[in-house]
Amino acid sequence: MTATTPEQVHSLHSRSVAAGYDPDVLGAARVLVVGAGALGQNLILDLALAGVGRIGVVDFDRFEPHNATRSPFYPSPDRLRRFDGAKAPLVAEGALALSTAHDPHLYWTEAYIQELGDGAVAWADVVCCAVDNGSARAWLADRCRLLETPMVEGGFHASAGHVAVYGPDPKDPCWRCGAPDVDGVFSCTQYALAVEADRVVPAIQNTAAALAARQAEATIRRLHGDRHLAGHRYYDDVRDWTQSRTVELSANPDCPGVHYPACDTIELDVTSSDSLADLSTAIEAQLGPASIRLPVDFVRATFCPACGTLARVDLPVWAWARERRCQACGGPHRPEPTLAAPSVIAWLGTATKDSLVALTTCAEAGLPAGSHIEIHTDSRILLGTLSDQLVWQRATASP
């Protein structure tokens, strides 16, 4: 379906042009789609058919048989075996085959978005959030705001769903304004409440398709420079036409998210495999004493929710949330006899280079390749950028 010349592109998209789309704008655009489930796949389908030239697909999950009824890119048995059922490469490959862009590039990573890091957010013109996990949405909300990238978010519960548009302006509401306690939780009670809130009923195909159309349209309009949807959320229920409505969102003055002006940037001669001590040294050499805000809390030790044992974790909070049991309860975390209480780190001082946590690598602390480090001095906030770059896969035509 891919057009080979500019003339063929405009001929192929003649009806889209009549509706106000610019194939040149869309062909040069970069959209990151986080989540390749029912909503994400329908969204990626719409973006590929609209001619968006660069689409990045991020998902850690695999296809299961019950996904077939709501997955436009559900693979054949042969294709399913090629990637062991991984959604990200299979969806990217399927979207490449349907793209109407002049020179389509479909990228993919089989990972959690926090593992991929800031490089993907900084790469995108618009980030589309299609995940059903609160901590991932909170991470995306903060990183999009910090890197001045618009975010179009969607979610659902059976036949009902919503789409919201968040701009990068620090004065505007962000996703975290309505969910201030989701990220950074490490108490068992808070975590349990967050998980309960995340237990959504999967969308039926009609809901996913209808929401994806709204999310795709909001994304395409933003790519064309239309900003008037920012700060609004649209609600719909495909089974009850009386429930459709749009609301204007409000900023929460107590929101823990990023609500301060854009930061100046500095380059750091530090990679994600270097230690936090190396990072602290590099920052202090350029700026003097400073504080470093981690993207998410780093859990050194906390209680096992099954037995109450204080366990050593040494993971970002989102990674700890995937497996929270100590070794005695069948989990990976060993008992921690040297600490008397849980230890969770949100900030580091440049003096931290002499402490035990400084031996942790940047990647282990939640700063993978391409990350932007939030640095606070007495007079200003800056972003320091790690020197290694985002690496992900490019989809190729299926055999």
In what helix (H) or strand (E) does residue 279 lie, and over which residues does it extend? Answer: helix 276-287
Domain ranges of the chain: 6-259, 264-385
CATH of domain 6-259: 3.40.50.720
Contact 173, 167 (CB under 8 A): no
Contact 82, 93 (CB under 8 A): no
Higher confidence at residue 262 or residue 366?
A: 366
Per-residue pLDDT tens for 253-279? Answer: 999 888 887 778 999 999 999 999 999
Q: Which of 43, 260, 14 is nearest to 131 (CA)?
A: 43
Flag whether pLDDT at 45 surpasses 50: yes
Contact 350, 102 (CB under 8 A): no
Instruction: Tell me the average pLDDT of the chain.
Output: 89
- pTM greater than 0.75: yes
Work out the percent of the chain whose per-residue pLDDT is above 70.
92
User: What are the CA-CA distances from residue 38 to residues 66, 130, 150, 203 (Å)?
Assistant: 11, 9, 22, 7
At how many degrees (to 10) do helices 38-50 and 205-223 cross? 40
Flag whether pLDDT at 196 surpasses 50: no
Flag whether pLDDT at 193 surpasses 70: no
- Residue for token pair 């890119």: 73
Higher confidence at residue 339 or residue 146?
A: 146
State residue 199's pLDDT score: 53
Give CA–CA dist 194/214, Å, rounded. 27
Per-residue pLDDT tens for 220-260? Answer: 999 999 999 999 999 999 998 888 999 999 999 999 888 88
Angle 85-90-93 (CA atoms, 0-180°, nearest 5)?
160
Higher confidence at residue 9 or residue 47?
A: 47
